[in-house]
Amino acid sequence: MPERIVIRRESPDQPEVAALLSGLDRYLQSLYPPEANHILDLDALCAPEVAFFVARDGTQAVATGAFRRMPGAADTAGLAYGEIKRMVVDPARRGERIGARVLAAMEEALRAEGCTLALLETGRHQVEAVKLYERCGYAPRAPFGGYPDNGLSVFYAKAL
């Protein structure tokens, strides 16, 4: 992948970032019923417990990802975790391993904050996302954080 890709924390409240997120929302809506889409909206992405990342090629936003800091719960044996959210790569840039780099940047930031666990929920029809997470070391796990076991979601964990 070209080294010109730079990944850093940014505000999600930017037009080109919003366009990527809107594309992701349309894609998810084409795959799942509304009750099965667990999307953080712009207000939620701007919350203090969320870290939002943008991958840029020069000035062009080509991917995003976020994590939400979550307290420990019974389904995590009391361990606080970072929940991976809003991962998207511009469809024209897929196959360049940008998503893996965004994920690695978020994991590094979580480790720097002392977090030792990353969890995520994704949809079973998002084959590319499932492959990415498994390739990056995420292992299947049971539902967490109040997500329903609806047969459409798959859940993953990675020790950091």
Specify the pLDDT at position 37.
86
Do 50 and 40 contact (CB within 8 A), yes or no?
A: yes
How far is the CA of 6 from the CAs of 3, 24, 67, 101, in angstroms? 8, 21, 18, 10
The pair phi, psi for residue 43, each rounded to 5°, is -60, -45
What is the third-level CATH fold of 5-159? Aminopeptidase (3.40.630)
Give the CB-side neighbour count of residue 94, counting CA atoms within 13 A: 10
pLDDT in tens, the chain (160 residues): 446 999 999 999 999 999 999 999 999 889 998 888 888 989 999 999 999 999 999 999 999 999 999 999 999 999 999 999 999 999 999 999 999 999 999 999 999 999 999 999 999 999 999 999 999 999 999 999 999 999 999 999 999 9
Q: Where are the domains of the chain?
A: 5-159
Specify the pLDDT at position 33.
87
pTM reported for the whole predicted model:
0.93
Specify the pLDDT at position 1.
43
Specify the pLDDT at position 36.
85
Specify the pLDDT at position 91.
93
> Residues, the chain, total?
160
C-alpha 86: how far from its chain's center?
4
Specify the pLDDT at position 143.
95
